[in-house]
Amino acid sequence: MTVATEARAATLDRLINDEQARFLRLHPRSAAAWREGRRHFLYGAPSHWMRRWAGGFPICVDTALGAHVRDIDGCDYVDFCLGDTGAMCGHAPDAVTRAVTRQIERGATMMLPTENSLWVGAELSRRFGPRYWTLTTSATDANRAAIRIARMITGKSKVLVFSGCYHGGVDEAHVEIRDGRIGLRNMIHPNAVNYDAVTNVVEFNDVAAVEAALASGDVACVLTEPIMTNFGMIPVADGFHQSLRDATRRAGTVLIIDETHTLSCGPGGYTALHGLEPDILVAGKAIAGGIPAGIFGLDYATAERLWRIVPPVNPRQRQSAHLGFGGTLAGGALAVAAMRAVLQEVLTAPAYVSMIAHAERLAARARDVIGRKGLPWHATQIGARIEIMFMPNAPRNGADVIAGRQPDLETLMHAFYMNEGILITPFHGMLLTCPATSLADVDRHGDVFERFVGLVEDAGV
């Protein structure tokens, strides 16, 4: 470290300490709740993700309505985190509340279909293209099932992913390339999985690397988001999807497109918007308005391949009925009722028009500030999703993110934002709009972003 970078790191450290002290002053009740939670929960809260907030501890939520969250200290936030996309419908949308209330009075789960499921199946095909669908309890579970099917129909073992990816608690995707070497993804701990046997990882947007990996002949599937959203936002290069599709077809490798986050691009995700042709499409999170649910859909040709191994229903052949996917509650009546409300009344085409217009406005203001101040930062906006990154240009792949990312500055931004009443995803600089996001919400972000830039400028970092 040079003297200048050491001094900068020390300044950032001091600023983060100041913001965390301010956070503690503003949130005495959340602080007490956190202390209490640590007595009961393995990592202090019901999910270990909840401890990742930069204030030093999570706020404890009182209510969440529309695009706003209120904590037990009475602080109000404009929510651009939206449950890391789980609440992309906005909090407590009326249609979902009504549907869920109605269904819970009629039974939550019976391991039987309801008439709502017929509507949902048809609507999924209308949005994402004609497919055969299965519902799961999460996107993670949908990815696991998709991988299992890919292995069943190809007889191959490996999953090829892109460095910097995240697809949930799917072991095969917990790998990355760092310093030219393949290893466990940052912050994933060794867990006795033999990753060499089950995965391969290459850089996003690198066609030659994909082709070389597929040439080994042992890749059951490529699992990818259409644009990468979990390591900053990494846009896709022109022509990459076509090359990926061609290469996977040539190699007999199943292409799984994970739309869990990119459902923010439009009613049929990035796939429908750009005419992608995945063998298996996966989504989750917002799809049932916050009731746990995921989906995966096989195109007709892939379904035929699976049916040759596990034929469609014949209840007398009990041995062929078990696919090995989890999910007793999957496709339960409650989740299906919520999904119908989301698809019919919440994530509608007009809702996307509003979400995307607000995202464009948010990104334009951020870019304007960055431009006026001559900062080496950028804002990417794709659909309803925006990413502010402290590097001059959008990354092309995970390596660019590793080289350019400034974790301390991100932590400072997160802590400052919370103190100023803005929530963004705690893992990087990602913001999302929902149907309830208003112009005033977007402008409040713009004001807070300007104040953040002022803080950083005044401190000379």
Q: Which residues bind ligand PMP (CB under 6 A)?
A: 84, 138-140, 143, 166-168, 225, 230, 258, 260-261, 284-285
Count CB-CB contacts under 10 A for residue 70: 15
Question: CA-to-CA distance for 299 and 89, rounded, in angstroms?
Answer: 27
- Nearer Cβ to ligand PMP (31/159): 159
Please state the length of the chain.
Answer: 461
Of 203, 207, 163, 165, residue with least CA distance to 183: 163
Q: How far is the CB of 240 from ligand PMP (least distance, A)?
A: 17
Q: Which is nearer to ligand PMP, 172 or 420 (CB)?
A: 172
* Residue 133 or 166 with smaller CB distance to ligand PMP: 166
Shortest separation between residue 336's beta carbon and ligand PMP, angstroms: 17
CB of 261 to ligand PMP, least distance (A): 5
Handedness of CA 225, 227, 82, 421 (dihedral sign): positive
Using CA atoms, how far apart are residues 32 and 58, in angstroms rounded to an integer? 11
Residue for token digits 């500055």? Answer: 409
User: Which residue of this chain has its Cβ atom nearest to ligand PMP in the complex?
Assistant: 168
Nearer to ligand PMP, 143 or 419 (CB): 143
CA 161, CA 220: separation in Å to the nearest integer?
11
Task: Determine contact, residues 64/91, Cβ cutoff 8 Å.
Answer: yes
In the complex, what is the shortest distance from the CB of residue 58 to ligand PMP, in angstroms, rounded to a whole number?
17
Distance, CA of 286 to CA of 288 (rounded, Å): 6
Q: Among residues 225 and 345, whose Cβ is nearest to ligand PMP?
A: 225
Nearest approach in angstroms of CB 187 to ligand PMP is 14
Q: Minimal CA–CA distance to 453: which of 379, 348, 384, 347?
A: 379
Please spell the DSSP secondary structure of 286-347, one letter per residue. GGGTTSS-EEEEE-HHHHHHHHHHS-S--TT-GGGS------TTTT-HHHHHHHHHIIIIIS
CB of 350 to ligand PMP, least distance (A): 25
Min. distance of Cβ 10 from ligand PMP in angstroms?
33
- Which ranges in 136-252 belong to alpha helices (H)? 139-154, 195-198, 207-215, 240-251
Considering the complex, state which of residue 137 and residue 154 has its C-beta at the smaller distance from ligand PMP.
137
Residue 314 — left, alpha, or beta (φ > 0 → left; ψ -120 to 50 → alpha)? beta
Closer residue to ligand PMP (CB): 138 or 380: 138
Of 57 and 231, which has the nearer Cβ to ligand PMP? 231
Decide whether 44 or 269 has the Cβ nearer to ligand PMP.
269
Residue 121's closest CA among 277, 343, 271? 343
* Rounded least distance, CB 285 to ligand PMP, Å: 5
Nearer of residues 33 and 89 to ligand PMP, judged by Cβ? 89
**49 or 307, CB closer to ligand PMP?**
49
CA 199 to chain centroid? 21
Side-chain half-sphere CA neighbours of 301 within 13 A: 7
> Smallest distance, Å, CB 294 to ligand PMP?
6
Helices (H) and strands (E) in the chain, counts: 15, 16
Shortest distance (Å) from residue 292 CB to ligand PMP: 8
DSSP, res 37: H
Question: In the complex, what is the shortest distance from the CB of residue 228 to ligand PMP, in angstroms, rounded to a whole number?
Answer: 9
Collapsing DSSP to helix, strand or coil, 162 comes out as strand
